[in-house]
Chain A
Amino acid sequence: MTFSDLVERLKAALGDGVVGVDEAHFDPAVRVRPQDVKQACRLLRDTLGMDTLRLLTAIDRPPESIEVAWHLVSVRGDTGTLVLKTTLPREAPKVATVSDVWASANWFEREQFDLLGVIFEGHPKLKRLMLPEDWVGHPLRKDYVRPDAYHGIPTSRENVTPVRTVSVPEHVAKAPETEGLMLLNMGPHHPATHGVLNFLLETDGEIVRRATPDVGYLHRGIEKLAELNAYAGTMPYTDRVDYLGGMFTNQAWAMAVERVAGIEVPRRAEFCRVIACELNRIASHLIATGCMAMDLGAYTPFIHWLRERETINDLMERICGARLTYTYMRLGGVARDIDAATLDKLLRWADHFEVMTLEFDRLITTNEIFVRRLATIATLQPADALSYAIVGPNLRASGIPWDLRRSEPYSVYPELEFDIPVGQGWRGRVGDAYDRFKVRLQEMHQSLRILRQAIAMLPEGEVRAKVPRVLKVPANEAYARVEAPRGEAGFYVVSDGTDRPWRVRIRTGCFTAMPLIEFLSPGLMVADIVALIGSLDVIAPEVDR
């Protein structure tokens, strides 16, 4: 179904509700009236096959309006993608919630309420997400002024008087405890939460009845920082969005800006990007699978994987000069060429690594205790996965073969041969934690396959297109996404004709995976929560940005 068909169907159902169509944009959008948003969304999901809300963005357009954009995609259907937009008055930005249509909207709407002040009527719990409950103001608004201190903690480094006592906010000091349940704070400092994440577990003995994630400890405001920097200058910040998959966020940002600005990337650069990204994918999955083992008590496999990752870090050092915060990609290509000695080392290491995966399998993957800890735990059904906009290995483990490299191809992936590992319920049920673990292991093998092909097919040529140092981008908007190890790393860039973007929205796989912990945890034991968090491969900086 093409875009115009969708528009026709919407017009047929909503009549005057459809206000306009933005076809000049790279992702064609349909504009509707605010009061028709709910009906349009219901229609899109039920009859037009849009089963996933992949991104919800609010864009501040002072002085009069705030725009809200819904990015929809049809994963199991054939209707492609669609952007739904509406314009709200800036003084009272209210629109109906769609969290009863797509579950992923729940946290998206909370975040946009938090950062931009848009009120979603009918939302079950419209509280702040990233910032503390008693924060004043909405930071992503263009007229936001940062307060000097928060409960005594200064907000800038200059002119700081040392603080001796900090007052504890009320909502932290008095967390409510339900009758009959024990409130356990799986707090920000915890070895198994993969970063600074907080979970409020309400348990009945060992069994968890409710787990509420509390995020925002690592919120650095990268979306706001991107508005203050030139397009090229945001590249190092994108490394820090997903520090284990820096190459992917680099590429997603580069692709978004290249799309909006109309920059073409030379072929050799595309292959260099693929090589760097697949190597990064292996490194990321090493940490993901290793940490799963470590959280369950097996420390040795994790250290073995770190040893392999050391070699990848050394290779990355040769490729781009850094071991973790790569900043390798540039607008229009990559920063440096990869020399032949590095590629040779890479190929020889790849042979060694394949043997290491066999050892890893014997050590832990087939270990009966390990299997019992993961099989049939936290099974994610495909329908729930789509409603929560789960992407990446988590989605594929539930049986849906959705991989952006194949379903929404980009770069030179159409020319490369590889398989998409899909969960098969190897030892338990399809979509359980063990499936998520094994899917990641198999993806590493596929990445090796891609690496070998890409190195063999590497053409001669430039690695970087000529881009003006001060890049002014005409007013447009585009959404570019890549298949990162944690799912979809996407950047929605709204440009305004200057050399700095007007709005940048970062879509990460972990942000939509976090509500799953609340959804899947009732009935699990405390030890299983650890396994669940590890199997979803949640890391804090991706959630909080």
Chain B
Amino acid sequence: MLGSLADRIVQALLGVDPAVWPYTWLVHLGLMVGVALLAFIFIALFAGPVTWVERRIAGRMMSRIGPNRVGPQGVLQWLADGLKCFLKEDLIPAEADQRMFRFAPYLVFGGYMATFVVLPFGANLVAADLDVGLLYLLAVGGLVVIGILMAGWSSNNKWALFGGIRSAAQLVSYEIPSAFALMTVVLAAGTLSMQGIVRAQGGWPWEWFLFKNPFLFVAFFLSLTASVAESNRTPFDLPEGESELVAGFHVEYSGMRFLWFMFAEWGNLWVISALGSVAFLGGWQIPGVSPDTLGGATGLGWVGWQLLSFVVFVLKASALVAFVIQLRWTLPRLRVDQMMIVCWKYFVPLALVCVAGVLVLLVAVPEGGPIDWMLRGASMLAFAVLVAVYVRRTRAAYLADRDLYRRMEGKELWYPPYRLP
């Protein structure tokens, strides 16, 4: 596509025959670089603000404000941090393996960036709707493992090595329950293509794969947890264990090289939430609107529907992002052997059971029949009970202290925390 575009540009602007002109390949290359830059900016816009969101939410959970000085409410904090990292001194340890050290961040970032190709941002907004989209996504995520291992090893630092090895073990192990949990979705949808998976679901919650049957319900949580482990986030952040290894595998990196890792980490947060929402929450499907309406619209209507589906997708992914952030700031981290035990003794058997269960149910239960609806109802009920328990406990925690605090009359340097700002 870009090749023909390059030909047309050469033809129109220079009036030369592109097949003959010796520098057509340069124009082609320039166009590819331009597209890559655009993609990079697009991706950066997802990674950067996520850091701001995370820091604000984390702040509120700790009864403090997050960053709120740079720009209105601190929205430009990530730009300031990025700029700061740009301007830092580029230190490479003298004893480090120079080539591997320099190359590792690009592998990690590449592994993360390449996943954006198959994410369906809207009804027709996907860079490349591969037939093997989901498989491609999981495969490309494996690049991250190599990158982290390279970074840990080449730093010539024992603590970085610890981080690298732990991360390799963790990421490789958790790919298995992750893949199996997503296999259940593939079975239910009948296709590996991301758009296909979204189209196999509907807009309304009971049409989502999340509630289709109890095994898929469990598979959602398995997939989410395994994805959290895949992206090195607490409770699985031992490769980066901040209070043990300071920064784990990227401890020797500074400046822009470090920023590549951070980009990948926070961007990954977005990617796994997007994956979860595509696989289990119906992706860009708008409640009440069938895909035919979206496909059949033209002109401004088409643009409007695409925009709406994009907004729905972002909302669903953001909900998962917020949940993953909350997980990080609530839970302590697992030790290496505990992490392995959880993976191999709990997640893998559960995932296998889910696959088997989904298989059996798909074969035995006819689509749309009464048993199918009963299963959906049971899953939704389970979810409703979980949410109800959760909300009740939240409210109890909030109220338990409020009345006592009212007796203290905030004075001088004492703080009344019971008003929404």
Contact = CB atoms under 8 A, between A and B. Distances in A.
Contacts of B244: 191-192, 295, 526-527, 530
B8 interface: no
A307 interface: yes
B367 interface: no
A528 B335 contact: yes
27 contacts: A182-B158, A190-B246, A191-B242, A192-B243, A206-B337, A295-B244, A297-B237, A297-B242, A297-B333, A303-B64, A311-B414, A352-B401, A352-B404, A355-B401, A358-B400, A359-B400, A362-B397, A363-B330, A367-B331, A367-B332, A369-B331, A372-B334, A373-B335, A527-B241, A527-B336, A528-B335, A530-B244
Contacts of A311: 414
Contact of A352 (B242, B408, B412): B408
Interface in B243-283: 243-244, 246
Nearest to B411: A345
Contacts of A296: 243, 332-333
Contacts of B397: 359, 362
B158 A184 contact: yes
A527 B159 contact: no
Contact of A314 (B242, B337, B413): B413
A504 interface: no
A467 interface: no
Given A184-B158, A191-B242, A373-B335, 15 more contacts: A191-B243, A293-B332, A295-B244, A296-B332, A299-B62, A310-B413, A314-B412, A348-B408, A352-B408, A355-B400, A367-B331, A369-B235, A369-B334, A525-B335, A527-B241
A236 B421 CA distance: 42
Nearest to A303: B62
A320 B1 CA distance: 76
Contact of B407 (A307, A314, A351): A351
How large, as a class, is the contact surface on chain A? 35 or more
B162 interface: yes
A-B pairs, top 5 by smallest CB distance, nearest first, are A297-B333, A303-B62, A298-B332, A296-B332, A297-B332
A515 B242 CA distance: 26
Interface string B373-413: 00000000000000000000100010011001101100011
A349 B397 CA distance: 18
**Majority-rule SS of B interface residues:** loop
B86 interface: no
B63 interface: yes
A352 B405 contact: yes
B77 interface: no
B330 A295 contact: no
Contacts of A294: 243
Contacts, number: 101
B231 interface: no
Contact of B331 (A298, A314, A348): A298
Nearest to B338: A372
B228 interface: no
Interface in A176-209: 182, 184, 190-192, 206
A525 B329 contact: no
Contacts of A359: 397, 400-401
Nearest to B169: A206
Contacts of B408: 345, 348-349, 352
Contacts of B413: 310, 314
Interface in A260-318: 293-300, 303-304, 307, 310-311, 314
A307 B63 CA distance: 8
A19 interface: no
B335 A351 contact: no
Kindly name the residue among A206, A300, A527 whose own CB sees the greatest number of chain B CB atoms within 10 A: A527
Contact of B330 (A298, A348, A527): A298
Nearest to B64: A303
A295 B243 contact: yes
Contacts of A525: 335-337
Interface in A311-349: 311, 314, 345, 348-349
B157 to A, nearest CB: 10
Contacts of B41: none
Classify chain B: how many residues form its interface, as a range.
Answer: 35 or more
A310 B63 CA distance: 13
Contacts of A418: none
B238 interface: yes
B332 A526 contact: no
Interface in B142-193: 158-159, 162
Most chain-A CB neighbours within 10 Å: which of B329, B332, B393, B413? B332
B66 to A, nearest CB: 12
A369 B64 CA distance: 25
Nearest to B234: A297
Contacts of A136: none
B61 interface: yes
A356 B63 CA distance: 13
A367 B337 CA distance: 18
A355 B401 CA distance: 6
Nearest to B236: A297
B246 to A, nearest CB: 6
A88 to B, nearest CB: 44
Contacts of B332: 293, 296-298, 364, 367, 369-370, 373
A372 B244 CA distance: 17
Contacts of A190: 246
A364 B333 CA distance: 12
Nearest to B335: A527
Given A359-B397, A369-B332, A372-B338, A526 B162 contact: yes
Contacts of A369: 235, 331-334, 338
A297 B243 contact: yes
Nearest to A306: B62
A360 B244 CA distance: 23
Contacts of A348: 407-408
Contacts of B405: 352
Given A314-B413, A367-B332, A369-B235, A297 B401 contact: no
A184 B162 CA distance: 10
Given A182-B158, A294-B243, A300 B400 contact: no
A180 B241 CA distance: 25
Contacts of B407: 348, 351
A193 to B, nearest CB: 10
In this complex, the member of B333, B393, B412 whose beta carbon has the largest number of chain A beta carbons within 10 angstroms is: B333
Interface string A363-396: 1100101101100000000000000000000000
A231 to B, nearest CB: 35
Contacts of B234: 297
B421 to A, nearest CB: 17
Contacts of B241: 297, 527
B243 A314 contact: no
Interface string B53-82: 000000001111000000000000000000
A303 B332 CA distance: 14
A290 to B, nearest CB: 12
A314 B158 CA distance: 43
Among B61, B63, B244, B405, chain A packs the most CB atoms within 10 A around the CB of B244
A253 B331 CA distance: 41
A307 B407 CA distance: 18
Listed residue (A184, A345, A364, A369) with the most chain B CB atoms within 10 angstroms of its CB: A369
A311 B405 CA distance: 13
Contact of A300 (B62, B335, B412): B62
A205 to B, nearest CB: 8
Interface in B312-361: 329-338
A304 B63 contact: yes
Contacts of B162: 184, 206, 526
Contacts of A530: 243-244
Nearest to B398: A359
A369 B404 CA distance: 31
Nearest to B331: A369
A533 to B, nearest CB: 11
A356 B234 CA distance: 24
